[in-house]
Amino acid sequence: MSQVAEQSPGGGAVPAAGEETAYDGLRLRQVTKRFGGFTAVETLDLDVPRGSFFALLGPSGCGKTTTLRMVAGLETPTSGAIELAGHDITYAKPYRRPVNTVFQNYALFPHLDIFENVAFGLRRRKRKDVADAVHRMLELVELESQAKKKPAQLSGGQQQRVALARALINEPEVLLLDEPLGALDLKLRRAMQIEIKRIQVEVGLTFVHVTHDQEEAMTMADTVAVMNAGVIEQMGAPAELYENPRSTFVANFLGQSNLIEGRVLRRDADVVSVDMQGITVSVPAARAHTDGDRGWVGIRPEKVLIGEPGEELDAPGNTIPGGVISDVSFVGVSTQYLVRMPWGQELQVFSQNTGRHRIFRHGEPVELSWRPEYAFLLDISQDAHAGAEEGEE
Amino acid sequence: MSRPAGTTGRWVREHLVLLLGLLVLVYTFVPIAVVVLMSFNDPDSRLIYRFDGFTIDNWLNPCAEPSMCDAVVRSVEIGLLATVLATLLGTLAAFAMVRHRFVGRSTANLLVFLPMAAPEIVLGASLLALFVASGLGGQLGFWTILVAHVMFCLSFVIVAVRARLAGLDDTLEQAAMDLYATPAQTFWRVTFPLVFPGILGAALLAFSLSFDDFIITNLNAGNTTTFPMYVWGVAQRGVPMQVNVVGTVMLVLSIAIVLAGELRARRRAGR
């Protein structure tokens, strides 16, 4: 499956060979990193356009942090090349590349005050007007009044902002963020996501953000690359990844998906017809990611419509009868159902509580339907549960 | 009737830890108090160690016994030199043992503890045997004492600095390098300031170990006399009260150093 993903990643970001000159963003070519016998990153190709907010999303151990550390110069690739603004930086020392990192544990210098922490990079490069620049940066992260304090005297969220300021002040070509919000509580994390996004827009630098939190990646980034087991599964805009996943891993890791086994009946120019447990459904050709004669029909739970048997549902697709509600959880804005289908599978359905429908009870018979343009078709050889557990965080 | 007894019992139970703590402190400090007191003693006879009258003569003439002052100076010289050498070598060794993987590293880690665990008399005797076997039997004195002191201080320095270094978060150094600090700048701006308290503590420990040592020194001193050896030597003939002056000065100096460190830490925390 990795082969498929590599050769045709979404977003069309990998240019043809021969176009290698003068790319002003960050470019990774065939980068591999092995630790002893373990391959952390496998022949990775990546293009991060200048000025974009790019997220590397994946479960822990998928190689995203190793990739980041190779860009920072803290690890050396086993093979491959890393280019930044047209210069090869594969083997450059970390202190010789225009890259700065916000570390997961912030790594603030405990013996220096906030001012000196932020000034550290400028002083090493013997810049003038350090004080002005530091004060402007502290203003940006709203920590002006804390300049004389030591890192230990600040709260987690404040330390996070100092770490951000300390990296940003150097105006790097690329700012790397290694799970920077992982240590914060949920509420603060949401606030910081918006804050970091605001700062990125304001300063216009290239941000590469590593995270295992799919919601965080989708909220903040322009482009998300989903990484699994050392390779990029799919890359593209958050909405594109969510709406049109190319692998079961992406379908399950980003949000949730119902995956139903089906047999391909006919392939037309723009529609693929699939026999799904005796019911013929169609999937747009652009969303069919398999050449085989069998596949997983995928549909997001919120795209599934639910109604009483015989009820006219607002969907031009086929009606799938014979469902029985096996679980109901009311979560306020929506109601989440588990519906047991005649072929034994339980499908997830999220129904918005718009008041149009009453809430069904456990054991009631229902019919399901969805608009064909929301469905997608994935390769049958992939594990239908890949990425499901990791995505639940 | 039972109630007052009950309250008393409870009061005792609640304050037992405090009481025991105070007793331990008394037990520790009484000998030191005697030393301070005796530094103001005006003895009737050198042979009887007894407080006979108050005087500040001992403080005004600390070098009434020139040989004692020579011994003190020698001990301070050896102590300072041994401290500098042991701290330097020990710090380098600690960095090597924490930061580098080399053949024999775990063996070295184990061997470092041996000088601390071995009885001093064994260390002293084997060192003497080594000196004699190397043909230095006639050269025993200042330099052999120094070698001996560096030897046993080294272990303590390595252990103290290693503990500090092992507790150091290595992402701090990565962060420094990420922020354009060369390896040398990273060391002097980040690593060294953070490990420094460990190095300072190790140096203080090394000095007091060296200044204090009697057994190993006595075996390897030849005709040279350090302060502990002087005290031991004159103990049979009656100790001059100036010995207590030296003892008190050492006590005051130690307390001053500890207090200064504590005040500095509090001022930093308070800011």
- Cα(B90)–Cα(B151) distance, rounded to whole angstroms? 10
Q: Which two tokens stand for residue B74?
A: 């020698």
Q: Among A138, A33, A22, A30, which residue's Cα sits nearest to residue A85? A: A22
Q: Cβ of A213: how many Cβ atoms within 10 Å?
A: 18
Q: What is the pLDDT of residue A1?
A: 37
B-chain residues near A100 (CB < 8 A): 178-179
Closest by Cβ to B179, choosing from A74, A105, A124: A124
Quick check: A166 contacting B, CB < 8 Å? Answer: yes
- Cα(A152)–Cα(A159) distance, rounded to whole angstroms? 8
User: What's the 3-state SS for B1-17?
Assistant: CHHHHHHHHHHHHHHHH
B-chain residues near A109 (CB < 8 A): 172, 175-176, 190
Helices (H), B39-141: 57-60, 66-99, 105-117, 120-133
Asked whether the beta carbons of B95 and B105 are under 8 A apart, the reply is: no
Question: Is the CB of B179 less than 8 angstroms away from the CB of A93?
Answer: no
A293 φ, ψ to 5°?
-95, 0
Asked whether the beta carbons of A116 and A164 are under 8 A apart, the reply is: no
Q: Among B165, B129, B131, B161, which residue's Cα sits nearest to residue B146? A: B131
Q: Which two tokens stand for residue A11?
A: 């977003």
- CATH code for residues A257-392: 2.40.50.140
Quick check: A92 contacting B, CB < 8 Å? Answer: no
- Cα(A381)–Cα(A389) distance, rounded to whole angstroms? 19
B-chain residues near A74 (CB < 8 A): 174, 177-178
- Cα(B204)–Cα(B197) distance, rounded to whole angstroms? 11
Quick check: A53 contacting B, CB < 8 Å? Answer: no
Residue of A76, A111, A160 to mutate when probing chain B, most B C-beta within 10 A = A111
Question: Is the CB of A125 less than 8 angstroms away from the CB of B194?
Answer: no
Quick check: B190 contacting A, CB < 8 Å? Answer: yes
Q: Cβ of A325: how many Cβ atoms within 10 Å?
A: 19
B-chain residues near A94 (CB < 8 A): 174, 177-178
Quick check: B192 contacting A, CB < 8 Å? Answer: no
Helix axis angle, B227-235 relative to B242-270, nearest 10°? 140
Q: What is the pLDDT of residue B241?
A: 85
Check if A2-243 and A257-392 are the same fold. no
Chain A residue nearest residue B195, CA to CA: A111
Domain A2-243 falls in which CATH fold?
A: Rossmann fold (3.40.50)
B-chain residues near A107 (CB < 8 A): 169, 171-172, 174-175
Closest by Cβ to A121, choosing from B172, B179, B194: B179
Quick check: A97 contacting B, CB < 8 Å? Answer: no
- Give the number of A-B residue pairs with CB atoms closer than 8 Å: 62
Please give chain A's pLDDT, 393 residues, in tens: 333 333 333 333 444 444 445 688 899 999 999 998 899 998 999 999 999 999 999 998 888 999 999 999 999 999 999 999 889 999 999 999 999 999 999 999 999 999 999 999 999 999 889 999 999 999 888 898 999 999 999 998 899 999 999 999 999 999 999 988 887 888 888 888 888 898 898 888 999 999 998 889 999 999 999 999 888 999 999 999 999 999 999 999 998 999 999 999 999 889 999 999 888 999 999 999 988 889 999 999 999 999 888 877 776 767 888 899 999 999 989 999 999 999 999 999 999 988 878 889 999 999 999 988 899 999 998 888 888 765 444
Quick check: A107 contacting B, CB < 8 Å? Answer: yes
B259 φ, ψ to 5°?
-60, -45
Q: Residues 6 or more apart from B241 whose CB is under 8 A from it?
A: B38, B39, B41, B42, B43, B58
Annotate A309-343 with DSSP letters as a single string: TT---S-SS-EEEEEEEEEEEE-SSEEEEEEE-TT
Complex prediction ipTM: 0.79
Q: Measured between CA atoms, how close is B166 to chain A, in angstroms? A: 16
Q: What is the pLDDT of residues B120-172, one digit of tens each?
A: 999 999 999 999 999 887 888 899 999 999 999 999 999 999 999 988 888 99
Beta strand residue intervals within chain A, DSSP E? 26-35, 38-48, 53-57, 79-84, 87-88, 99-102, 174-178, 206-211, 223-228, 231-236, 258-267, 271-276, 279-284, 294-299, 305-307, 319-330, 334-340, 346-352, 365-369, 376-379
Residue A123: its H or E element: helix A114-124
- Cα(B119)–Cα(A133) distance, rounded to whole angstroms? 60
Q: Measured between CA atoms, how close is A147 to chain B, in angstroms? A: 12
Question: Is the CB of A111 less than 8 angstroms away from the CB of B176?
Answer: no
Q: Residues 6 or more apart from B237 whose CB is under 8 A from it?
A: B46, B47
Quick check: A65 contacting B, CB < 8 Å? Answer: no
Domains of chain B (ranges; CATH) run 65-239 (1.10.3720.10)
Quick check: A116 contacting B, CB < 8 Å? Answer: no
- Cα(A195)–Cα(A197) distance, rounded to whole angstroms? 5
Asked whether the beta carbons of B175 and B184 are under 8 A apart, the reply is: no
CA distances to A46, A62, A231, B103, B174 from A37, rounded to whole Å, are: 24, 15, 17, 22, 25
Residue of A103, A137, A170 to mutate when probing chain B, most B C-beta within 10 A = A103
Closest by Cβ to B172, choosing from A73, A109, A166: A109
Range with the poorest average pLDDT among A281-295, B4-18, B70-84, B223-237: B4-18
CA angle (A13 as vertex; A9, A16 as ends), nearest 5: 95
Residue B154: its H or E element: helix B142-166
Q: What is the pLDDT of residue A390?
A: 54
Q: Among A143, A153, A159, which residue's Cα sits nearest to residue B269? A: A153
Q: What is the pLDDT of residue B175?
A: 95
A187 φ, ψ to 5°?
-65, -45
Quick check: B193 contacting A, CB < 8 Å? Answer: yes
- Cα(B33)–Cα(B31) distance, rounded to whole angstroms? 5
Per-residue confidence band for B223, with pLDDT thresholds at 50, 70 and 90 = confident
- Would you call A226 helix, strand, or coil by DSSP? strand
A-chain residues near B270 (CB < 8 A): none
Q: What is the pLDDT of residues B39-86, one digit of tens each?
A: 898 888 777 778 888 888 888 888 888 888 899 999 999 999 999 999
Burial class (CB in 10 A: 0-12, 13-18, 19+), B180: buried
Helix axis angle, B192-212 relative to B142-166, nearest 10°? 140
Burial class (CB in 10 A: 0-12, 13-18, 19+), A371: middle
Annotate A42-56 with DSSP letters as a single string: EEEEEEE-TT-EEEE
Spans of all domains in chain A:
2-243, 257-392
Asked whether the beta carbons of B78 and B253 are under 8 A apart, the reply is: no
- Cα(A256)–Cα(A245) distance, rounded to whole angstroms? 11
Q: Among A247, A289, A211, which residue's Cα sits nearest to residue A386? A: A247
The model's pTM is 0.78
B-chain residues near A108 (CB < 8 A): 175
Question: Is the CB of B181 less than 8 angstroms away from the CB of A105?
Answer: no
Residue of B101, B171, B172, B179 to mutate when probing chain A, most A C-beta within 10 A = B179
Quick check: B182 contacting A, CB < 8 Å? Answer: yes
Q: Which two tokens stand for residue B194?
A: 């953070």
Quick check: A68 contacting B, CB < 8 Å? Answer: no
A323 φ, ψ to 5°?
-80, 150
A-chain residues near B172 (CB < 8 A): 107, 109-110
- Would you call A28 helix, strand, or coil by DSSP? strand
Q: What is the pLDDT of residue A100?
A: 94
Q: Measured between CA atoms, how close is B171 to chain A, in angstroms? A: 6
Per-residue confidence band for B240, with pLDDT thresholds at 50, 70 and 90 = confident
Question: Is the CB of B175 less than 8 angstroms away from the CB of A111?
Answer: no
Q: Measured between CA atoms, how close is A226 to chain B, in angstroms? A: 26
Q: Residues 6 or more apart from A186 whose CB is under 8 A from it?
A: none
Per-residue confidence band for B22, with pLDDT thresholds at 50, 70 and 90 = very high
Q: Which two tokens stand for residue A388?
A: 């499901």
Asked whether the beta carbons of A42 and A48 are under 8 A apart, the reply is: no
> What letter does residue A359 receive in the DSSP assignment?
P
Asked whether the beta carbons of A242 and A254 are under 8 A apart, the reply is: yes
Q: Measured between CA atoms, how close is A170 to chain B, in angstroms? A: 8
Quick check: A23 contacting B, CB < 8 Å? Answer: no
